[in-house]
């Protein structure tokens, strides 16, 4: 499933991928204020992080540089950007 999503990502421009819901880009803050992950020291502080769901809960987290998506985290428990659960 993850390879299928990554293959699909390669068929779109970044705006097309975000418009089609394949990719979400976080632009409001450099790194999530509440995260189960730590910003790696070798990754620039000023990047826009992106996430791509590869199933119900698991996500691939990374960033774009020169139109290349760099995978940084495999987030199986959705802990990259921790938010309060919504009451449904």
Rg of the chain in Å (alpha carbons): 13
Strand order in the sheet with 68-75: 24-26, 49-53, 59-65, 68-75
For residues 6 and 15, the model is more confident at 15
pTM, whole model, 2 decimals? 0.84
Expressed in angstroms, the distance from the first to the final Cα of the chain is 28
pLDDT on residue 86:
64
Q: What is the largest CA-CA distance in the chain?
A: 40
pLDDT tens sequence across 16-74? 999 999 999 998 888 988 899 999 999 999 999 999 988 788 899 999 998 889 999 99
Q: Closest Cα to residue 60, out of 86, 30, 22, 87?
A: 22
């Amino acid at each position: 499933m993850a390879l299928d999503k990554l293959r699909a990502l390669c068929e779109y421009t970044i705006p097309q991928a975000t418009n089609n819901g394949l990719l979400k880009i976080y632009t409001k803050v450099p790194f999530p204020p509440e995260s189960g992950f730590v910003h790696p020291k070798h990754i620039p502080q000023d990047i826009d992080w992106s996430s791509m769901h590869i199933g119900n809960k698991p996500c691939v987290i990374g960033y774009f540089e020169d139109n290349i998506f760099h995978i940084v985290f495999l987030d199986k428990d959705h802990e990259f950007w921790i938010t309060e659960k919504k009451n449904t």
